[in-house]
Amino acid sequence: MLTDTTRLWFGDLTSAELPRTIGLGEIGQLLDEMYRDSAQDLRERAAVLFLDRAGRLHVSKPLVGDMRRVIIRRPELIAGERYVGVMHTHPPLMGTGVAFGGQDFAMMLDSTDVIALLQTGSSLVALVRTEKTAVKADVDVLRSQMQQVERNAMSQGYTAKEALVLANLAICKMYGLALYVGYAPGPLEEVFRP
């Protein structure tokens, strides 16, 4: 159990009510530790955040993936508990950079998660669900939408990593997700809200 009591985790804030800044507290420390392990063995890490019946925040034991993905196994919840979101890492040197991939977006949109958090190096990025967020996504459609934005950006001279960041912003606009960025271990600052 963590001491954090941020109302954001309950997922009942409207887009207009979202904070400009999200402090991560102990979650930020845990994610930073997961990233350090990822930097050592170049494997992705992920952990699932959930609320217990008293509204207290918990974090699952970190899951370990490979260089490019980590399979999210969610802890089984009992009645009254609910998932808050997933935080994961992208190891350095993998070319994925500090941006969500198509699969990351699709998983977030197909869940009821309030937040998706990602750390690469010292950079943090977060997606936040609002009442304006699409309730599901087709991963193949979403991937091709991202690739189109990336191709356009690269044809205008942006690097592949910059293009991926621009594609993240474009997907947030298309699917009604709020986007935050920051430096480990937080806080994050608002970049876009739907």
Binding-site ranges for Zn ion (CB under 5 A):
101, 104
CB of 80 to Zn ion, least distance (A): 30
Closer Cβ to Zn ion, 51 or 127, answer by number: 127
Instruction: Using the minimum distance from each CB to Zn ion, give the nearer residue, 13 or 179.
Output: 179
Q: Rounded to the nearest whole angstrom, what is the least distance from the CB of residue 181 to Zn ion in the complex?
A: 15
Strands (E) in 21-143, as ranges, are 21-22, 45-51, 57-59, 63-64, 82-89, 115-120, 123-128
Tell me which residue of 48, 60, 49 sits closest to 10, measured CA to CA. 49
The residue sitting closest to Zn ion, measured at its beta carbon, is 104
Nearer to Zn ion, 13 or 115 (CB): 115
Amino acid at 144: S
Please confirm whether the linkage preceding 19 is cis (ω < 30° from 0): no
Give least dist CB 76 to Zn ion, A. Answer: 23
